[in-house]
Amino acid sequence: MFDLIAFDADDTLWHNERLYRMGRERFHQMLAKYKLADTTEAIDERVNQTELQNLKYYGYGVMSFVLSLIEASVELTGGRISATDIEDLLKLSKEMLTDPVELFPGAEEAVTRLSAAYPLMLITKGDLLHQQAKADQSGLRGYFRHVEVVSDKSRATYAAILQRVAVSPSRFLMVGNSLRSDILPVIQLGGWAIHIPAELSWSHEHVDADGAFGDRCFELGHLGDLPGFVDGLAGRRAE
Amino acid sequence: MFDLIAFDADDTLWHNERLYRMGRERFHQMLAKYKLADTTEAIDERVNQTELQNLKYYGYGVMSFVLSLIEASVELTGGRISATDIEDLLKLSKEMLTDPVELFPGAEEAVTRLSAAYPLMLITKGDLLHQQAKADQSGLRGYFRHVEVVSDKSRATYAAILQRVAVSPSRFLMVGNSLRSDILPVIQLGGWAIHIPAELSWSHEHVDADGAFGDRCFELGHLGDLPGFVDGLAGRRAE
Protein backbone atom coordinates (compact mmCIF):
# COMPACT_ATOMS: atom_id res chain seq x y z
CA MET A 1 0.00 0.00 0.00
CA PHE A 2 2.89 2.39 0.74
CA ASP A 3 6.17 2.68 -1.15
CA LEU A 4 7.63 4.91 1.54
CA ILE A 5 6.80 5.76 5.14
CA ALA A 6 8.45 8.86 6.60
CA PHE A 7 8.73 9.95 10.21
CA ASP A 8 9.21 13.36 11.69
CA ALA A 9 11.88 13.20 14.40
CA ASP A 10 11.58 15.91 17.12
CA ASP A 11 8.55 15.34 19.35
CA THR A 12 7.46 12.42 17.17
CA LEU A 13 10.18 9.84 17.87
CA TRP A 14 12.02 11.60 20.70
CA HIS A 15 11.69 14.40 23.23
CA ASN A 16 12.55 17.87 21.98
CA GLU A 17 10.13 20.63 23.00
CA ARG A 18 10.77 20.04 26.69
CA LEU A 19 14.37 21.12 26.06
CA TYR A 20 13.15 24.45 24.67
CA ARG A 21 10.81 24.83 27.63
CA MET A 22 13.80 24.30 29.90
CA GLY A 23 15.66 26.96 27.88
CA ARG A 24 12.81 29.43 28.26
CA GLU A 25 12.62 28.66 31.97
CA ARG A 26 16.36 29.36 32.36
CA PHE A 27 15.85 32.60 30.45
CA HIS A 28 13.17 33.68 32.94
CA GLN A 29 15.38 32.83 35.90
CA MET A 30 18.23 34.77 34.35
CA LEU A 31 16.08 37.84 33.78
CA ALA A 32 14.63 37.77 37.32
CA LYS A 33 17.56 39.77 38.70
CA TYR A 34 16.79 42.63 36.28
CA LYS A 35 13.39 43.13 37.94
CA LEU A 36 11.62 43.85 34.64
CA ALA A 37 8.10 45.22 34.61
CA ASP A 38 7.18 42.60 31.99
CA THR A 39 5.09 39.61 33.03
CA THR A 40 6.24 36.07 32.31
CA GLU A 41 3.72 35.96 29.50
CA ALA A 42 5.02 39.21 28.01
CA ILE A 43 8.57 37.87 28.07
CA ASP A 44 7.47 34.62 26.42
CA GLU A 45 5.61 36.63 23.82
CA ARG A 46 8.68 38.74 23.09
CA VAL A 47 10.85 35.62 22.73
CA ASN A 48 8.30 34.03 20.44
CA GLN A 49 8.03 37.14 18.28
CA THR A 50 11.80 37.40 18.04
CA GLU A 51 12.04 33.75 17.03
CA LEU A 52 9.40 34.15 14.33
CA GLN A 53 11.00 37.32 12.96
CA ASN A 54 14.37 35.58 12.84
CA LEU A 55 13.18 32.41 11.07
CA LYS A 56 13.98 33.98 7.71
CA TYR A 57 17.58 34.54 8.80
CA TYR A 58 18.34 31.63 11.07
CA GLY A 59 15.79 28.95 10.21
CA TYR A 60 14.83 26.37 12.85
CA GLY A 61 16.94 24.88 15.60
CA VAL A 62 18.94 25.54 18.73
CA MET A 63 21.32 28.14 17.23
CA SER A 64 18.34 30.12 15.96
CA PHE A 65 16.65 29.85 19.36
CA VAL A 66 19.66 31.02 21.34
CA LEU A 67 20.51 33.87 18.95
CA SER A 68 16.90 34.99 19.43
CA LEU A 69 17.19 34.70 23.23
CA ILE A 70 20.31 36.87 23.14
CA GLU A 71 18.53 39.45 20.99
CA ALA A 72 15.45 39.41 23.23
CA SER A 73 17.60 39.72 26.37
CA VAL A 74 19.18 42.93 25.09
CA GLU A 75 15.81 44.38 24.16
CA LEU A 76 13.94 43.32 27.30
CA THR A 77 16.60 44.68 29.65
CA GLY A 78 17.05 47.89 27.65
CA GLY A 79 20.71 47.03 27.13
CA ARG A 80 21.40 46.15 30.78
CA ILE A 81 22.00 42.43 30.16
CA SER A 82 25.45 41.47 31.47
CA ALA A 83 28.20 39.73 29.55
CA THR A 84 28.06 36.94 32.14
CA ASP A 85 24.43 36.31 31.31
CA ILE A 86 25.22 36.34 27.59
CA GLU A 87 27.88 33.75 28.34
CA ASP A 88 25.28 31.66 30.17
CA LEU A 89 23.06 31.75 27.09
CA LEU A 90 25.99 30.45 25.01
CA LYS A 91 26.42 27.65 27.55
CA LEU A 92 22.72 26.93 27.26
CA SER A 93 23.12 26.50 23.49
CA LYS A 94 25.86 23.93 23.97
CA GLU A 95 23.87 22.09 26.63
CA MET A 96 20.87 21.92 24.34
CA LEU A 97 23.00 20.75 21.40
CA THR A 98 24.50 17.93 23.42
CA ASP A 99 21.42 16.91 25.39
CA PRO A 100 21.04 13.12 25.08
CA VAL A 101 18.31 11.88 22.77
CA GLU A 102 15.50 10.21 24.71
CA LEU A 103 13.14 8.14 22.57
CA PHE A 104 9.41 8.21 23.16
CA PRO A 105 7.98 4.91 24.49
CA GLY A 106 7.21 2.62 21.58
CA ALA A 107 9.40 4.55 19.10
CA GLU A 108 12.00 1.87 18.68
CA GLU A 109 9.49 -0.94 18.27
CA ALA A 110 7.37 1.05 15.81
CA VAL A 111 10.37 1.92 13.64
CA THR A 112 11.84 -1.59 13.84
CA ARG A 113 8.60 -3.33 12.93
CA LEU A 114 7.69 -0.98 10.08
CA SER A 115 11.22 -1.09 8.63
CA ALA A 116 10.78 -4.83 8.05
CA ALA A 117 7.92 -4.15 5.64
CA TYR A 118 8.51 -0.64 4.24
CA PRO A 119 11.40 1.64 3.24
CA LEU A 120 11.55 4.31 5.93
CA MET A 121 12.68 7.93 5.77
CA LEU A 122 13.37 10.47 8.50
CA ILE A 123 12.37 14.05 7.60
CA THR A 124 13.38 16.63 10.14
CA LYS A 125 13.96 20.38 10.18
CA GLY A 126 16.56 22.30 12.15
CA ASP A 127 20.33 22.65 12.42
CA LEU A 128 21.91 20.25 9.94
CA LEU A 129 24.68 19.06 12.24
CA HIS A 130 22.44 18.75 15.31
CA GLN A 131 19.67 16.85 13.54
CA GLN A 132 22.14 14.40 12.03
CA ALA A 133 23.80 13.92 15.41
CA LYS A 134 20.44 13.16 17.02
CA ALA A 135 19.57 10.66 14.30
CA ASP A 136 22.90 8.93 14.95
CA GLN A 137 22.49 8.97 18.73
CA SER A 138 18.92 7.72 18.61
CA GLY A 139 20.13 4.27 17.65
CA LEU A 140 17.44 4.22 14.95
CA ARG A 141 19.40 5.59 12.01
CA GLY A 142 20.07 2.15 10.58
CA TYR A 143 16.35 1.55 10.12
CA PHE A 144 15.97 4.57 7.83
CA ARG A 145 16.90 4.26 4.18
CA HIS A 146 16.98 8.06 3.89
CA VAL A 147 17.55 10.86 6.38
CA GLU A 148 16.50 14.31 5.14
CA VAL A 149 17.27 17.46 7.11
CA VAL A 150 15.26 20.28 5.57
CA SER A 151 15.08 24.02 6.27
CA ASP A 152 11.29 24.08 6.10
CA LYS A 153 8.52 21.52 5.74
CA SER A 154 6.43 23.06 3.00
CA ARG A 155 4.39 21.25 0.39
CA ALA A 156 7.18 22.06 -2.11
CA THR A 157 9.73 20.44 0.20
CA TYR A 158 7.77 17.19 0.33
CA ALA A 159 7.14 17.30 -3.42
CA ALA A 160 10.87 17.67 -4.10
CA ILE A 161 11.76 14.80 -1.75
CA LEU A 162 9.18 12.46 -3.29
CA GLN A 163 10.31 13.36 -6.80
CA ARG A 164 13.91 12.64 -5.89
CA VAL A 165 13.11 9.16 -4.58
CA ALA A 166 10.51 8.59 -7.35
CA VAL A 167 7.60 7.87 -5.01
CA SER A 168 4.04 8.95 -5.83
CA PRO A 169 2.33 10.99 -3.07
CA SER A 170 -0.55 8.50 -3.14
CA ARG A 171 1.91 5.78 -2.03
CA PHE A 172 3.52 7.93 0.69
CA LEU A 173 2.66 8.01 4.38
CA MET A 174 4.02 10.67 6.77
CA VAL A 175 3.94 10.24 10.55
CA GLY A 176 4.40 13.25 12.80
CA ASN A 177 3.25 15.42 15.69
CA SER A 178 2.84 18.73 13.86
CA LEU A 179 -0.32 19.41 11.87
CA ARG A 180 1.38 22.39 10.23
CA SER A 181 4.64 20.71 9.23
CA ASP A 182 4.00 16.98 9.02
CA ILE A 183 0.35 16.53 8.14
CA LEU A 184 -1.20 19.41 6.21
CA PRO A 185 1.39 19.76 3.41
CA VAL A 186 1.41 16.00 2.83
CA ILE A 187 -2.39 15.80 2.64
CA GLN A 188 -2.44 18.77 0.24
CA LEU A 189 0.02 16.92 -1.94
CA GLY A 190 -2.24 13.87 -2.13
CA GLY A 191 -0.36 11.78 0.40
CA TRP A 192 -1.37 9.95 3.58
CA ALA A 193 -0.65 11.11 7.10
CA ILE A 194 -0.85 9.88 10.65
CA HIS A 195 -0.91 12.54 13.33
CA ILE A 196 0.42 11.55 16.73
CA PRO A 197 0.01 14.60 18.97
CA ALA A 198 2.84 15.27 21.40
CA GLU A 199 2.24 16.34 24.96
CA LEU A 200 4.37 19.43 24.26
CA SER A 201 4.55 21.24 20.93
CA TRP A 202 5.84 24.69 19.99
CA SER A 203 2.97 27.14 19.51
CA HIS A 204 4.28 27.89 15.99
CA GLU A 205 3.43 24.32 14.99
CA HIS A 206 -0.24 24.65 15.86
CA VAL A 207 -2.86 25.18 13.15
CA ASP A 208 -6.60 25.39 13.38
CA ALA A 209 -7.74 21.95 12.31
CA ASP A 210 -10.74 22.77 10.19
CA GLY A 211 -11.72 19.27 9.18
CA ALA A 212 -9.99 19.74 5.82
CA PHE A 213 -7.68 16.82 6.36
CA GLY A 214 -9.89 14.40 4.45
CA ASP A 215 -9.97 10.64 4.64
CA ARG A 216 -6.24 10.04 4.18
CA CYS A 217 -5.39 11.49 7.58
CA PHE A 218 -5.65 9.63 10.88
CA GLU A 219 -4.85 10.42 14.46
CA LEU A 220 -3.24 7.99 16.86
CA GLY A 221 -2.70 8.51 20.55
CA HIS A 222 0.49 6.52 20.78
CA LEU A 223 3.41 5.37 18.63
CA GLY A 224 2.90 1.83 19.91
CA ASP A 225 -0.34 1.63 17.94
CA LEU A 226 1.33 2.62 14.67
CA PRO A 227 2.52 -0.72 13.21
CA GLY A 228 -0.82 -2.41 13.82
CA PHE A 229 -2.69 0.55 12.39
CA VAL A 230 -0.58 0.58 9.22
CA ASP A 231 -1.13 -3.16 8.83
CA GLY A 232 -4.85 -2.56 9.22
CA LEU A 233 -4.83 0.18 6.59
CA ALA A 234 -2.97 -2.02 4.14
CA GLY A 235 -5.31 -4.94 4.82
CA ARG A 236 -8.39 -2.79 4.27
CA ARG A 237 -7.08 -1.55 0.95
CA ALA A 238 -6.15 -5.06 -0.15
CA GLU A 239 -9.72 -6.35 0.28
CA MET B 1 34.33 10.11 -18.88
CA PHE B 2 32.40 11.49 -15.90
CA ASP B 3 28.93 10.46 -14.76
CA LEU B 4 28.77 13.38 -12.35
CA ILE B 5 30.64 16.64 -11.86
CA ALA B 6 30.22 18.38 -8.51
CA PHE B 7 31.10 21.93 -7.52
CA ASP B 8 31.86 23.39 -4.17
CA ALA B 9 29.99 26.70 -3.78
CA ASP B 10 31.60 29.19 -1.35
CA ASP B 11 34.85 30.61 -2.71
CA THR B 12 34.61 28.30 -5.72
CA LEU B 13 31.60 29.71 -7.58
CA TRP B 14 31.01 32.86 -5.55
CA HIS B 15 32.61 35.16 -3.01
CA ASN B 16 32.36 34.09 0.62
CA GLU B 17 35.55 34.43 2.65
CA ARG B 18 35.71 38.18 2.07
CA LEU B 19 32.44 38.43 4.04
CA TYR B 20 34.06 36.69 7.01
CA ARG B 21 37.09 38.98 6.70
CA MET B 22 34.68 41.91 6.83
CA GLY B 23 33.10 40.36 9.93
CA ARG B 24 36.49 39.98 11.62
CA GLU B 25 37.37 43.54 10.69
CA ARG B 26 34.14 44.81 12.25
CA PHE B 27 34.95 42.77 15.34
CA HIS B 28 38.35 44.49 15.65
CA GLN B 29 36.79 47.92 15.25
CA MET B 30 34.21 47.07 17.89
CA LEU B 31 36.85 45.92 20.36
CA ALA B 32 39.04 48.99 19.81
CA LYS B 33 37.13 51.00 22.41
CA TYR B 34 37.97 48.40 25.08
CA LYS B 35 41.69 49.15 24.68
CA LEU B 36 42.71 45.52 25.06
CA ALA B 37 46.35 44.57 25.55
CA ASP B 38 45.93 41.86 22.86
CA THR B 39 47.41 42.43 19.42
CA THR B 40 45.28 42.12 16.30
CA GLU B 41 46.94 38.77 15.68
CA ALA B 42 46.15 37.55 19.21
CA ILE B 43 42.51 38.54 18.77
CA ASP B 44 42.34 36.74 15.42
CA GLU B 45 43.93 33.70 16.99
CA ARG B 46 41.39 33.71 19.83
CA VAL B 47 38.51 33.97 17.35
CA ASN B 48 39.95 31.16 15.27
CA GLN B 49 40.43 28.94 18.31
CA THR B 50 36.89 29.62 19.49
CA GLU B 51 35.53 28.79 16.04
CA LEU B 52 37.44 25.51 15.89
CA GLN B 53 36.38 24.50 19.41
CA ASN B 54 32.77 25.26 18.54
CA LEU B 55 32.67 23.32 15.25
CA LYS B 56 31.48 20.23 17.10
CA TYR B 57 28.52 22.17 18.49
CA TYR B 58 27.64 24.64 15.77
CA GLY B 59 29.14 23.23 12.58
CA TYR B 60 30.08 25.60 9.76
CA GLY B 61 28.41 28.83 8.72
CA VAL B 62 27.45 32.34 9.72
CA MET B 63 25.50 31.42 12.88
CA SER B 64 28.46 29.40 14.12
CA PHE B 65 30.83 32.29 13.32
CA VAL B 66 28.76 34.92 15.10
CA LEU B 67 28.09 32.75 18.16
CA SER B 68 31.87 32.29 18.34
CA LEU B 69 32.45 36.05 18.00
CA ILE B 70 30.04 36.69 20.87
CA GLU B 71 31.82 34.09 23.00
CA ALA B 72 35.25 35.51 22.13
CA SER B 73 34.07 39.07 22.83
CA VAL B 74 33.06 38.13 26.38
CA GLU B 75 36.37 36.38 27.00
CA LEU B 76 38.62 38.98 25.39
CA THR B 77 37.03 41.87 27.28
CA GLY B 78 36.90 39.97 30.56
CA GLY B 79 33.14 40.39 30.65
CA ARG B 80 33.16 44.11 29.82
CA ILE B 81 31.54 43.77 26.40
CA SER B 82 28.39 45.91 26.25
CA ALA B 83 24.90 44.76 25.32
CA THR B 84 24.97 47.30 22.48
CA ASP B 85 28.03 45.63 21.02
CA ILE B 86 26.39 42.22 21.37
CA GLU B 87 23.44 43.66 19.48
CA ASP B 88 25.81 44.84 16.76
CA LEU B 89 27.16 41.30 16.41
CA LEU B 90 23.59 40.05 15.95
CA LYS B 91 23.10 42.68 13.25
CA LEU B 92 26.34 41.50 11.66
CA SER B 93 24.94 37.96 11.48
CA LYS B 94 21.84 39.17 9.65
CA GLU B 95 23.91 41.29 7.28
CA MET B 96 26.12 38.34 6.47
CA LEU B 97 23.12 36.04 5.97
CA THR B 98 21.51 38.45 3.52
CA ASP B 99 24.63 39.61 1.72
CA PRO B 100 23.96 39.30 -2.03
CA VAL B 101 25.68 36.42 -3.81
CA GLU B 102 28.38 37.63 -6.19
CA LEU B 103 29.56 35.05 -8.70
CA PHE B 104 33.22 34.70 -9.57
CA PRO B 105 34.07 35.70 -13.16
CA GLY B 106 33.51 32.74 -15.46
CA ALA B 107 31.33 30.84 -12.96
CA GLU B 108 28.12 31.14 -14.90
CA GLU B 109 29.68 30.18 -18.22
CA ALA B 110 31.56 27.23 -16.71
CA VAL B 111 28.43 25.85 -15.06
CA THR B 112 26.23 26.49 -18.09
CA ARG B 113 28.63 24.84 -20.53
CA LEU B 114 29.36 21.80 -18.38
CA SER B 115 25.67 21.29 -17.57
CA ALA B 116 25.03 20.71 -21.25
CA ALA B 117 27.27 17.64 -21.21
CA TYR B 118 27.25 16.33 -17.61
CA PRO B 119 24.85 16.03 -14.67
CA LEU B 120 26.02 18.62 -12.14
CA MET B 121 25.81 18.65 -8.35
CA LEU B 122 26.46 21.40 -5.83
CA ILE B 123 28.06 20.20 -2.58
CA THR B 124 28.38 22.86 0.09
CA LYS B 125 28.75 22.94 3.84
CA GLY B 126 27.26 25.44 6.27
CA ASP B 127 23.88 26.64 7.50
CA LEU B 128 21.21 24.67 5.66
CA LEU B 129 18.87 27.62 5.10
CA HIS B 130 21.66 30.04 4.12
CA GLN B 131 23.35 27.70 1.68
CA GLN B 132 20.06 26.90 -0.02
CA ALA B 133 19.22 30.60 -0.22
CA LYS B 134 22.59 31.34 -1.83
CA ALA B 135 22.12 28.55 -4.36
CA ASP B 136 18.74 30.04 -5.25
CA GLN B 137 20.05 33.61 -5.45
CA SER B 138 23.06 32.63 -7.54
CA GLY B 139 20.84 32.09 -10.55
CA LEU B 140 22.69 28.83 -11.14
CA ARG B 141 20.48 26.42 -9.22
CA GLY B 142 18.64 25.28 -12.33
CA TYR B 143 21.88 23.91 -13.81
CA PHE B 144 22.42 21.54 -10.90
CA ARG B 145 20.57 18.26 -10.82
CA HIS B 146 21.35 17.89 -7.11
CA VAL B 147 22.13 20.37 -4.34
CA GLU B 148 23.64 18.84 -1.22
CA VAL B 149 24.18 20.85 1.95
CA VAL B 150 26.39 18.81 4.26
CA SER B 151 27.63 19.35 7.79
CA ASP B 152 31.16 18.25 6.93
CA LYS B 153 33.05 17.27 3.80
CA SER B 154 34.70 14.07 4.88
CA ARG B 155 35.54 11.07 2.76
CA ALA B 156 32.51 9.33 4.30
CA THR B 157 30.28 12.24 3.27
CA TYR B 158 31.36 11.95 -0.36
CA ALA B 159 31.04 8.16 -0.26
CA ALA B 160 27.47 8.42 1.02
CA ILE B 161 26.52 10.98 -1.62
CA LEU B 162 27.98 8.90 -4.46
CA GLN B 163 26.28 5.77 -3.17
CA ARG B 164 22.96 7.56 -3.04
CA VAL B 165 23.17 8.71 -6.65
CA ALA B 166 24.77 5.40 -7.74
CA VAL B 167 27.92 6.95 -9.23
CA SER B 168 31.31 5.26 -9.01
CA PRO B 169 34.10 7.44 -7.58
CA SER B 170 36.17 6.74 -10.70
CA ARG B 171 33.47 8.48 -12.76
CA PHE B 172 33.16 11.45 -10.39
CA LEU B 173 34.88 14.82 -10.65
CA MET B 174 34.85 17.41 -7.85
CA VAL B 175 35.75 21.06 -8.42
CA GLY B 176 36.62 23.28 -5.48
CA ASN B 177 38.94 25.74 -3.77
CA SER B 178 39.69 23.78 -0.61
CA LEU B 179 42.32 21.06 -0.64
CA ARG B 180 41.04 19.84 2.74
CA SER B 181 37.35 19.71 1.93
CA ASP B 182 36.97 19.44 -1.83
CA ILE B 183 40.07 17.69 -3.12
CA LEU B 184 41.76 15.36 -0.64
CA PRO B 185 38.72 13.28 0.45
CA VAL B 186 37.64 12.82 -3.17
CA ILE B 187 41.11 11.70 -4.27
CA GLN B 188 41.30 9.30 -1.32
CA LEU B 189 37.99 7.84 -2.42
CA GLY B 190 39.30 7.16 -5.91
CA GLY B 191 37.67 10.14 -7.60
CA TRP B 192 38.95 13.01 -9.73
CA ALA B 193 39.43 16.57 -8.56
CA ILE B 194 40.18 19.99 -9.96
CA HIS B 195 41.55 22.49 -7.50
CA ILE B 196 40.89 26.15 -8.27
CA PRO B 197 42.57 28.14 -5.49
CA ALA B 198 40.68 31.19 -4.25
CA GLU B 199 42.36 34.48 -3.51
CA LEU B 200 40.96 34.24 0.03
CA SER B 201 40.41 31.02 1.98
CA TRP B 202 39.81 30.34 5.67
CA SER B 203 42.99 29.10 7.35
CA HIS B 204 41.10 26.02 8.52
CA GLU B 205 40.76 24.91 4.91
CA HIS B 206 44.51 24.83 4.32
CA VAL B 207 46.43 21.54 4.30
CA ASP B 208 50.03 20.81 3.59
CA ALA B 209 50.00 19.57 0.03
CA ASP B 210 52.52 16.76 0.18
CA GLY B 211 52.28 15.62 -3.42
CA ALA B 212 49.95 12.80 -2.41
CA PHE B 213 47.22 13.98 -4.70
CA GLY B 214 48.24 11.64 -7.51
CA ASP B 215 47.44 11.89 -11.20
CA ARG B 216 43.70 12.38 -10.85
CA CYS B 217 44.09 15.85 -9.38
CA PHE B 218 44.68 19.02 -11.37
CA GLU B 219 45.00 22.67 -10.56
CA LEU B 220 43.48 25.45 -12.63
CA GLY B 221 44.00 29.16 -12.12
CA HIS B 222 40.58 30.22 -13.28
CA LEU B 223 37.03 28.88 -13.60
CA GLY B 224 36.94 30.08 -17.20
CA ASP B 225 39.45 27.37 -18.11
CA LEU B 226 37.33 24.59 -16.62
CA PRO B 227 35.02 23.55 -19.50
CA GLY B 228 37.91 23.36 -21.99
CA PHE B 229 40.04 21.43 -19.53
CA VAL B 230 37.28 18.89 -18.84
CA ASP B 231 36.77 18.46 -22.60
CA GLY B 232 40.49 17.91 -22.95
CA LEU B 233 40.52 15.31 -20.18
CA ALA B 234 37.61 13.45 -21.74
CA GLY B 235 39.26 13.57 -25.18
CA ARG B 236 42.55 12.24 -23.84
CA ARG B 237 40.79 9.32 -22.18
CA ALA B 238 38.76 8.57 -25.31
CA GLU B 239 41.87 8.14 -27.46
Domain at B152, CATH number: 3.40.50.1000
Set of chain B residues whose Cβ sits within 8 Å of the Cβ of A151 = 128-129, 132
- The residues near B66 (Cβ < 8 Å, ≥ 6 apart) are A67, B23, B89, B90, B92, B93, B96
Cβ of B147 under 8 Å from any chain A Cβ? no
Model confidence pLDDT, tens digit, residues A162-173: 999 999 999 999
A232 and A136 in a common domain: yes
Set of chain A residues whose Cβ sits within 8 Å of the Cβ of B66 = 67
Percentage, residues of chain A above pLDDT 70: 93
B189 and B122 in a common domain: yes
Mean pLDDT, 10 residues at a time, chain B of 239 residues? 96 96 97 95 96 96 98 97 97 98 97 97 95 96 95 95 95 96 95 90 61 81 93 75
Q: What is the ipTM of this complex?
A: 0.91
Half-sphere exposure of B165 (CA within 13 A, CB side): 22
CB A171 within 8 A of CB A3: yes
A72 and A89 in a common domain: yes
Query: Is B90 within 8 Å of A71 when comparing Cβ atoms?
Result: yes
Model confidence pLDDT, tens digit, residues A203-232: 666 655 555 677 899 999 999 999 999 999
**Total number of domains in chain A:** 2
B92 and B51 in a common domain: yes
B106 and B47 in a common domain: no
Query: Is B79 within 8 Å of A74 when comparing Cβ atoms?
Result: no
Half-sphere exposure of A119 (CA within 13 A, CB side): 12
Between A73, A132, A151, which is nearest B151 by CB? Answer: A132
A160 and A229 in a common domain: yes
Chain B: closest CA distance from residue A152 (Å): 8
B169 and B197 in a common domain: yes
A180 and A198 in a common domain: yes
Set of chain A residues whose Cβ sits within 8 Å of the Cβ of B67 = 63, 66-67, 90, 93
- Helices then strands, counting H and E runs in chain A, come out as 9, 6
Query: Is A127 within 8 Å of B132 when comparing Cβ atoms?
Result: no
Among A80, A97, A114, identify where a domain stops.
A97
- The boundaries of the domain holding residue B173 are 4-14+102-238
**Residue B50's CATH number:** 1.10.150.240
Residues 52 through 81 of chain B touching chain A, CB cutoff 8 Å: 57-59, 63-64, 66-67, 70-71, 73-74, 77, 79-81
Cβ of B128 under 8 Å from any chain A Cβ? yes
B61 and B47 in a common domain: yes
CB B8 within 8 A of CB B181: yes
